[in-house]
Amino acid sequence: MGCDGGTIPKRHELVKGPKKVEKVDKNAELVARWYYCTLSQEKLKKPIVSCELGRLYNKDAIIEFLLDKSPDKPHADTAAHIKSIKNIIELNLSDNPVWTGNKGNTKGDKYDDQCAQFICPVVGLEMNGKHRFCVLRQCGCVFSERALKEIKTDVCHKCGAGFQAEDLIPLNSDKDEVEELRKKMEDRRLKAKMEKKSKKSKAAVSAVSIGETTEGAPGPSNATNGNKNDSKDKASSVPNDKSTTLIVPCFHTAESRASEKSSASSSPATKRPNPDVKSETYKSIFTSHSSAKRTKDQSSNWVTHTAYYF
């Protein structure tokens, strides 16, 4: 057996029994919850925020997590339900006048009980995990549960803002309470999403109705502008009826044709004459017309510019 030197082995050295379940120290667990950030595992320092499940975080750690949501980060699952900065509540805490922070010189030869940095502003209980604390979701003020039970009111004791029983979120609660808070959080987010969709649909319907009213609105009345229209009709020399023909002057120059083209392009409402119906003025433009033919008196002698003429 290898028991040299006359040693006698005991039973626990030879027989391995079941492993003992490791018990978590309650005091160490309370210190980890109430004194350290849940995400970065660093000491809590102002500004301190809380999620809708009642966990405590440093605001800087939450901002860094939202900027870089890589799953490789440690303890990233504890803040997976935080989607934006709107899902956190900045805590309005009351400082403990007894707390000295890192100023005191602590020695290792005696046990020094940790003093809480914050207290309840109504009762004065320390926020160290031994007493239950709640945060108001609307204003972020933190009170002990004892103060809220003793002084029942719908107004915040610190800032005077109104609140309801649904706005109370317990800090660092048990697993069962965390599950209830998670259900409430999901219902609240679903309700906000439905309200946002309904607002968008109402805005779209109102925009469509406004467009329909503007399209169906009557234009300017002809009675008010009757004199102006009459003067315009009298001044315009181009008729609008299809039966009438367009009057064109006999002599056409390049400038007059350019002006006619520009007027025709600028006023598309004027109708062109029917090309099948050709007036005498239109025919007079061409040399084949009778007006273009000259008499014998008007015509000159025939002249050739060849060498045989000279």
Domain check: are 205 and 126 in the same one?
A: no
> For 4-16, what is the mean pLDDT?
78
For residue 309, is it left (φ>0), alpha (ψ between -120 and 50) or beta? alpha
Measured distance between the N- and C-terminal CA atoms of the chain, rounded to whole angstroms: 156
Domain check: are 187 and 124 in the same one?
A: no
Burial class (CB in 10 A: 0-12, 13-18, 19+), 117: buried
Domain check: are 45 and 89 in the same one?
A: yes
Give the span between the Cα atoms of 82 and 235, in whole angstroms. 75
Q: Which residues of 274-284 are buried (b: 16+ CB within 10 A; e: fewer)?
A: eeeeeeeeeee
Domain check: are 36 and 169 in the same one?
A: yes
Task: State which H helix or E strand residue 49 sits in.
Answer: strand 48-51
196 lies in some domain: yes
Provide the pLDDT for residue 110: 46
Give the span between the Cα atoms of 113 and 102, in whole angstroms. 14
297 lies in some domain: no
Tally the domains of the chain.
2
Provide the pLDDT for residue 55: 92
Domain check: are 76 and 199 in the same one?
A: no
Domain check: are 152 and 78 in the same one?
A: yes
295 lies in some domain: no
Residue type, 214: T
| Cα Dmax for the chain | 165
Give the span between the Cα atoms of 80 and 82, in whole angstroms. 5
Domain check: are 158 and 41 in the same one?
A: yes
* Residue 138 in this model has a pLDDT that exceeds 50: yes
Tell me the whole-structure pTM to 2 decimals: 0.57
Q: Which residues of 3-30 are buried (b: 16+ CB within 10 A; e: fewer)?
A: eeeeeeeeeeeeeeeeeeeeeeeeeeee
Alpha helix segments (H runs only) across 68-165: 145-150
The more confidently predicted of residues 245 and 39 is 39
Domain check: are 140 and 158 in the same one?
A: yes
* Residue 31 in this model has a pLDDT that exceeds 70: yes
Domain check: are 31 and 158 in the same one?
A: yes
108 lies in some domain: no
Domain check: are 128 and 153 in the same one?
A: yes
Q: Place 245 in a pLDDT band, splitting at 50, 70 and 90.
A: very low
135 lies in some domain: yes
Q: Return the C-alpha torsion angle 273, 275, 281, 287, nearest 10.
A: 150
253 lies in some domain: no
CATH number at residue 122: 3.30.40
Domain check: are 148 and 187 in the same one?
A: no
Provide the pLDDT for residue 240: 46
Rg (Cα) of the chain, in Å, rounded? Answer: 48
Indicate the length of the chain as a whole number: 310
Phi, psi of 155 (to 5 degrees): -120, 140
Q: Domain boundary at 152, 173, 194, which? A: 173
Domain check: are 40 and 129 in the same one?
A: yes
Domain hosting residue 193, numbered range:
174-211
187 lies in some domain: yes
**Each residue of 267-302: pLDDT tens digit?**
444 555 555 556 777 777 777 777 777 666 666 555
SS3 211: helix
DSSP state of 43: B
Give the span between the Cα atoms of 196 and 113, in whole angstroms. 50
Task: Kindly report the number of other CB atoms within 10 A of residue 102's CB atom.
Answer: 7
DSSP state of 22: P
Phi, psi of 14 (to 5 degrees): -100, -35
138 lies in some domain: yes
Peptide bond into 18 cis (omega under 30): no
